[in-house]
Amino acid sequence: MNGDMAKAPSPVPVHKNAFPHNNGPGQIMRAITPLLLMLALAGPAAAEPTLRFEVPTTVSPEAAKDLAAIYAVSSRLPPATKPVSLEDWDRQREALDKRMIPASNAVVARLGASVRDDQIGGVPVVRILPAGYKPSGRTLIYLHGGGYTRFSAHSRLGPPALVAAATGDEVISVDYTVAPRGNWRVITDQVLSVWRALLAKGTAPASIGIFGDSAGGGIAAGSVLKMRDQGLPLPGALYLMSPSSDITYTGDSYLTLSRVDPVLDLDSSKWGADVYADPKDQKNPYVSPVYGDYAKAFPPTLIQGGTREMLLSNFVREYQVIRGGGHEAVLDLYEGMPHVFQGSVPNTPETRTAIARAAAFLKTHLTPR
């Protein structure tokens, strides 16, 4: 992407049941491509599948059906291979993006959203507008997940398009430089460059919310700590989906849940963490925000996750440190749900509830400019 703003494509015509934002998140979910398609695009399956993951009996029937299909596919995927050079990292990321972008675009098309490339503060971004967009006076910034080393703003359009549809707000997805080409200093500086540019254009900080999933959730919280320490105004709200808030992999859930987590693998997660930040830097609050000083200012924060995630301790600890600093925080957990379930099982009561609560939280705390 370059510095020129690409022409915004017209929203893709959709069926009358492909629901714009004002029809509610319950209807929106049925328009989203499930993660099963993404998994099917993930490459050749292992020759001898072994079903590793069981579906909890306590999830909704809709979630049980979707999770069973997803786990059947994910159980057959071959083990990840650790990259050994920058070129290896690039090849893996580019190959994954190539497979993911069609599914990502399908989500946008089904929601009738429009997408265009832009640059803000010298940083490439993707602007996502929901169907029937009317300026609300609120703006959302999104930071995608991917273990710090994978995906892009184009291959992770699903979560921001979903939130845009539920809130009716524009979402600016920051296409940050993933590791190892970038690192925690580079990436958080890119987030702050976007933030400063929006403020310089007159956007009120209280009208802006920041959200992210997985690694993007950790980047979001770390970036807010960094902007606060640099004396910048803070956003009106923070929404963290399954945030990676401690990349030292400290916490009880790494012992209790890592073997049953159907999405994340402990070894490959550590590979990404180590190229995002040197071990000596991994307790820096901008890297692992659970180690931040929350006695100082911090925005109201919603944290969502599932009970089938090895990162569960990250969510609990981040919630506790924010609350311990005297700030508003909500920990919203979902029974039996896997990592970033909002994007993987969208057609379920669990996701409908989660997205509705997130939209309500953002609307409550963001003050239109």
Region 50-66: mean pLDDT is: 87
Share of the chain above pLDDT 90, in %: 76
Of the pLDDT bands very low, low, confident and very high (cuts 50, 70, 90), residue 9 is very low
pLDDT at 25 over 60: no
Q: Are 295 and 235 in contact (CB under 8 A)?
A: no
119 by Cβ neighbours in 10 Å (0-12 / 13-18 / 19+) ranks as middle
Task: Summarize pLDDT for 340-363 with one digit per residue, the tens.
Answer: 999 889 889 999 999 999 999 999
pLDDT of residue 72: 86
pLDDT at 5 over 70: no
29 compared with 234, residue with greater pLDDT: 234
DSSP track, 203-239: --GGGEEEEEETHHHHHHHHHHHHHHHTTPPPPSEEE
Task: Summarize pLDDT for 278-302 with one digit per residue, the tens.
Answer: 999 999 999 999 999 999 999 999 9
pLDDT of residue 350: 97
- Pairwise CA distance, residues 133 & 113, whole Å: 9
Place of tokens 């996502």: 128
pLDDT of residue 52: 63
pLDDT at 53 over 90: no
**What are the Cα distances from residue 119, in Å, to 6, 25, 51, 114, 355?**
10, 30, 44, 17, 28
DSSP track, 121-175: TTEEEEEEE-TT----S-EEEEE--STTTS--TTTT-HHHHHHHHHH--EEEEE-
- Pairwise CA distance, residues 94 & 333, whole Å: 33
Q: Are 29 and 351 in contact (CB under 8 A)?
A: yes
pLDDT of residue 27: 41
Phi, psi (5° rounding) for residue 171?
-120, 130
List, in order of start, the domains of the chain with CATH numbers: 22-365 (3.40.50.1820)
Q: Are 316 and 224 in contact (CB under 8 A)?
A: no
Task: Summarize pLDDT for 167-215 with one digit per residue, the tens.
Answer: 999 999 999 999 999 999 999 999 999 999 999 999 999 999 999 999 9
Residue at 91: amino acid letter: R
Q: Are 46 and 77 in contact (CB under 8 A)?
A: yes
pLDDT of residue 18: 31
DSSP 115: E
Q: What is the mean pLDDT of the chain?
A: 87
The partner residues of 334 in beta bridges, in order of sequence, read 306
Q: Rounded to an integer, what is the distance from CA 178 to the centroid of its chain?
A: 14
Region 98-123: mean pLDDT is: 94
Share of the chain above pLDDT 70, in %: 86
Strands 237-241 and 208-213: parallel
pLDDT of residue 369: 77
pLDDT at 273 over 90: yes
Q: Are 342 and 348 in contact (CB under 8 A)?
A: no
pLDDT at 20 over 90: no
215 compared with 18, residue with greater pLDDT: 215
Q: Are 183 and 212 in contact (CB under 8 A)?
A: no
